[in-house]
Copies of this chain bind each other. A is one copy, B any other.
Amino acid sequence: MSSPVNLQEKLREHRLEYTVLCAFQDDIHSLVRLASAALLWEQDKEAFLEQHVAPVIDKLLNCLRKTYGSYHLALEKISTTAILWEILALENLFLSDIDAALHNDPATQDPLEIIVCYPGFKAIRYHRIAHIFYRHQIPLLPRMIAELAHEVTGIDIHPGAQIGSHFFIDHGTGVVIGETSIIGKSVSIYQGVTLGAKRFYRDEYGKVLKGMERHPIIGDKVTIYAGATILGRIKIGEGSSIGGNVWLTEDVPANSRVTQQRYLSTFFSDGDGI
């Protein structure tokens, strides 16, 4: 453990004023909203991104440069134009995610309902944009994008997670997808599913090692039902279904069905509950 004094000094290095933080958060919401509007509705996407999204990105990056200092390598190297091209390339992914919701959810047939009311589509929109900044090793911003989506949707996707097309999260509250997760195409995930780490690796001083591959790899066309907890660098084979509330820490071959052991059933004799 670090001493309180050291920690407090480290804290003082990078202080984000409250008003700056609020503006920063508002700008993140605007970024995702405008980028989504460009990809989903606009005819001339490029011009719209240039005109409306570029200034927001500039503002966010400048705020980070002030907080982390001008010698931060990734913040030096990144260009807003490069980011715009990467956002433009998300168009088909966004459409594929809407399509997956239409294809999998019997409760709707209205794409507007998916865009406006589906927390899963909101979370994946925020994530796909956060992931761009994560790949450029930008500090704080990717994690803040993820956490703002988490606040609103209850879905916590680490910006490092790699997620294929046609991704569908239904309901979503409590979903956690860890930093080094790799998810194939046409995967469906329900509320409360965890793709997490089983154990952490520590160095000889007991310090936890950062960035190791430690989360699951999910094959194409896998469905994971509500509340399943899947931990460690394991592989769930293509086309498998994982039942609700399962605790799973081993590989699963393709086309498997994994379910919880049958429950115990008794009857009340005295009326006093579980």
Given A196-B190, A260-B247, A267-B256, also A1-B272 (CB < 8 A): no
Q: Are A7 and B99 in contact (CB under 8 A)?
A: yes
From A95, A153, A239, name the one whose CB has the most chain B CB atoms within 10 angstroms: A95
Residues of B within 8 A of A151 (CB): 119, 152-153
Nearest residue in B to A214 (C-beta to C-beta)? B106
> With the chains together, A2 CA to B96 CA distance in Å?
9
Partner of A227, one of B16, B105, B194, B201: B194
Residues of B within 8 A of A107 (CB): 158, 160, 178-179, 210
Q: Are A2 and B198 in contact (CB under 8 A)?
A: no
> With the chains together, A146 CA to B118 CA distance in Å?
10
Partner of A15, one of B7, B41, B105, B118: B41
Residues of B within 8 A of A173 (CB): 150, 154, 156, 173-176
Q: Are B239 and A268 in contact (CB under 8 A)?
A: yes
> How many chain-A residues does the 8 Å CB contact rule pick out?
113
> With the chains together, A211 CA to B33 CA distance in Å?
31
Residues of B within 8 A of A14 (CB): 110-112
Taking the complex as formed, is A162 at the interface, i.e. its CB lies under 8 A from any CB of chain B? no
Partner of A241, one of B10, B179, B210, B273: B273
Q: Are A171 and B176 in contact (CB under 8 A)?
A: yes
Counting from the closest, the 7 A-B pairs by CB-CB distance are A229-B244, A247-B260, A117-B147, A261-B261, A194-B226, A174-B174, A4-B95
